[in-house]
Amino acid sequence: MYLPGSFDIAPRDPSLHSNSWYKATEYITWIYGLCPALLYNVLPEIPWRNFCKFVAGLRIMSQYSITPVQLQLACQLLNEWEPEFEQIFYQWCVDCIPIIRPCVHLTCHLTSKRTIGNLGQEIHQPSDPFSNLAQQGIWRCQVNALKAMIPHLDPPKNKNPRASTDLCNSFVLLAKCDRKPIILQGEEARVIAAYLRLPQTPKVQHWACLQLPNGQIARSEFQELQKAPEDICMACNVKVTLNGVICIAEVRYFARLVVTDNLSDNDNDDEDLDGPHHFQFDDIALVTLYSHPHPFLLEQSHGVLASCMKLGKASLQVIKISAVQSVVAMVPHRPVVHGVTEDRYFLVEKTGMEIVHFGLEENDDE
């Protein structure tokens, strides 16, 4: 219920389905997404922190792109994780080596083993395998270099669905929307009027879904609250950029506001309102925010467990659609921290999506 549809199949009870079909995606969600929070105060502190160190390193290595700083951090985390794991669970006892899985050691050779495996799958001639392997590696580098220098050699497959509206930067508003604009009431009207710097709120047409450049579909309360609880696949929570800081927000709805170009480009409220105007769309989302993650849990988990609280109506605000980065899951839990139990939500991101340091300012330098 709390995982968006873009997370593929929701993980089931592993004790009931461990021997049926292939469960790679489910176990990835369990281990890298849910277990850091679910095992807090279940595992002893030292094994839990060691597990979080492993998850932090593998999350970075699963990203679509990795900065040099992140790569160094992942190398440090995984190189520290292995000897700590061996010390905790078998104290380097020679008699226990047969029961320790080889993957514990092979994790430190993740990139080289994975590359060798990928290239090996591309070899079709049994004769002279090592020469063929080297040639496959050369071809891979040449193809990657050409795609980087001439991007149109690998064009994206972009087929927008019927009745959708294509926005800038590969964002697409998907149908379902109001048949006609409506007049807002209450706090929503006040927030949008303040955003537009108008004495009264114009009529607004609600849009329910937004397709992001990464292919995920962000939904909104406008659509999800109309469904039965058992039919909801929660995809209203998104990662956004506000003033250069990464935050988590819950979307109420998306909208296209009609504004004058001097309103969107000029902050001078004394602009001549009698002159000619050019109108354009301002694509926005109305959201409520989550708090910044609990600092103790974030530090103890090596940045893996981001546990937040809903800020509610007090945080209601308008953001640009272009500020939305990805769809995330916010799963409820009740951790006990320093003897205090609180209702909170922990962040789960789909492994393989771009992962940035939550709550820190963005740095585009790679």
Decide if pLDDT at 352 tops 60. yes
What is the mean predicted confidence (pLDDT) over 325-338? 92
Longest dimension (CA), the chain: 87
Q: Report how far residue 243's alpha carbon sits from residue 236's, in angstroms, rounded to the nearest whole number.
A: 21
Strands 245-260 and 344-348: unpaired
Q: Where are the chain's structural domains?
A: 5-153, 165-348
Q: How many CB atoms lie within 10 A of CB 135?
A: 14
**Tell me, what's the pLDDT at 262?**
59
Decide if pLDDT at 240 tops 70. yes
pLDDT tens-digit profile of 18-63? 666 567 788 888 888 999 999 999 999 999 999 999 999 999 888 8
Q: Report how far residue 303's alpha carbon sits from residue 325's, in angstroms, rounded to the nearest whole number.
A: 19
**Tell me, what's the pLDDT at 158?**
58
pLDDT tens-digit profile of 190-215? 999 999 888 877 788 899 999 988 88
**Tell me, what's the pLDDT at 355?**
41
pLDDT tens-digit profile of 52-79? 999 999 998 888 778 889 989 999 999 9
pTM for the model: 0.76
Decide if pLDDT at 87 tops 80. yes
